[in-house]
Amino acid sequence: MGATIGSVTPSDHYRCVRNVTFSNIDFDTPLKAIYIKTNPGTTTSMLPGSGGEIKNIVYENITMKNPVWWNIYIGPQQMKEPDGRGPGCMLYPLDPDCDTQPLITISDITLRNITSTGGLLSPGIIRCHETNPCKNVNFENVKIASMAIGLGGNFIVENV
């Protein structure tokens, strides 16, 4: 699969993933290589960020050859989780029905020395909610070459 954080589901018990580093990884034909995902859910207050966080995540010294789907994906869960009936965003952006998660904060994400070649899609997706945007997402020496079939050649970015 890839170097994955998630699926983080909002909870009144405040779920979190913090201080994780993925380093020195070579991927050959990964489905998704760098993947951070949130799941649907609720909290009692329903205030932005009330359900948890994904924070201080570092991906460094990573190479990808021929990624099948996205090189980099940060955002809502793509599969219909947790039991096959959830919303899922597997076909986003072709199917725009893909809600982002306001209750999980995503911040302080660093991608450093990342290289990818041979991908079919655009370089990736980074999507957060308008009431709780992703903060401090830093790219340092990130080089992605792809064929970008049908989606242009740029990242799809919302509320970062």
Q: By residue range, what is the domain housing residue 91?
A: 3-158
pLDDT at 80 over 80: no
Alpha-carbon span 145 to 117, nearest angstrom:
5
Count of the separate structural domains present in the chain = 1
pLDDT at 62 over 60: yes
Q: What is the pLDDT of residue 105?
A: 97
Could you give phi then psi for residue 94, rounded to 5 degrees?
-65, -40
Could you give phi then psi for residue 6, rounded to 5 degrees?
135, 180
- Which three-class secondary structure string do you get for 84-107? CCCCCCCCCCCCCCCCCCCCEEEE
pLDDT at 153 over 90: no
Task: Please answer whether residues 88 and 78 qualify as being in contact, where contact means their C-beta atoms are separated by less than 8 angstroms.
Answer: yes
105-132: average pLDDT: 94
Q: What's this model's pTM, rounded to 2 decimal places?
A: 0.92
Alpha-carbon span 77 to 79, nearest angstrom:
6
Model confidence band, residue 17 (pLDDT cutoffs 50, 70, 90): very high
pLDDT at 95 over 60: yes
Model confidence band, residue 89 (pLDDT cutoffs 50, 70, 90): confident
pLDDT at 150 over 60: no
- Residues shown for the chain: 160
